[in-house]
Amino acid sequence: MDAIDVQIVSALQENGRLTVAELAERVGLTEAPVWRRLRKLEEEGWITGYHASVDRSKVGLKVVAIVTVRFATHDLELAERFVEAIQAHPNVLNAYNVTGDVDYILTVLTKDLEEYEKFTLFLRGFQGIVAIQTHLSLREVKSRGGNVPPLDTLSP
């Protein structure tokens, strides 16, 4: 990835709906080389998709919970079943297997506390979980739709 590629990706991180013509204008190239670079970035996995950011409150998801989960043991079979269930659960936005005093950190979105309670019952159904801790968000202070900061802001 060279400096032009970084400019292309950074522009798309800012606005994923830019046309090839608009990207070309931003990076100072013609459309054909920008189109080729864009295809190469997609094929090589630098760009993994294009997504619409949706206002969660507009669809009724008012509760944001950061949930930590700790297991009694590190049984691989239990962990695999847990990961599969979490990946399939529609209310789980993000899930991380982490180091430290907990095993997983989840970001969970629900419409209300009653729906969140149902989610906790779902978690309690897993054998081996010894602790579930919930942190409810009072307000969102910062949120980036993407999964990495703009590439043009990262140190070389």
The pTM assigned to this predicted structure is 0.79
Q: How far apart (Å, rounded) are the C-alpha atoms in residues 142 and 66?
A: 15
Alpha-carbon distance 111 to 56, whole Å? Answer: 9
For the chain, the DSSP string reads --HHHHHHHHHHHH-TT--HHHHHHHHTS-HHHHHHHHHHHHHTTSS--------GGGGT--EEEEEEEEESS--HHHHHHHHHHHHH-TTEEEEEE-SSS-SEEEEEEESSHHHHHHHHHHHHTSTTEEEEEEEE-S------SSSS--GGGS--
* Residue ranges, CATH 1.10.10.10, the chain: 3-52
CATH 3.40.50.2030 given to domain 3-52 = no
CATH fold, domain 56-136, is Alpha-Beta Plaits (3.30.70)
Per-residue pLDDT tens digits for 99-140:
999 999 999 999 999 999 999 999 999 989 999 999 999 998
User: What is the average per-residue pLDDT within 16-29?
Assistant: 95
CATH 3.30.70.920 domain locations along the chain: 56-136
Tell me the average pLDDT across 64-91: 94
pLDDT of residue 147: 59
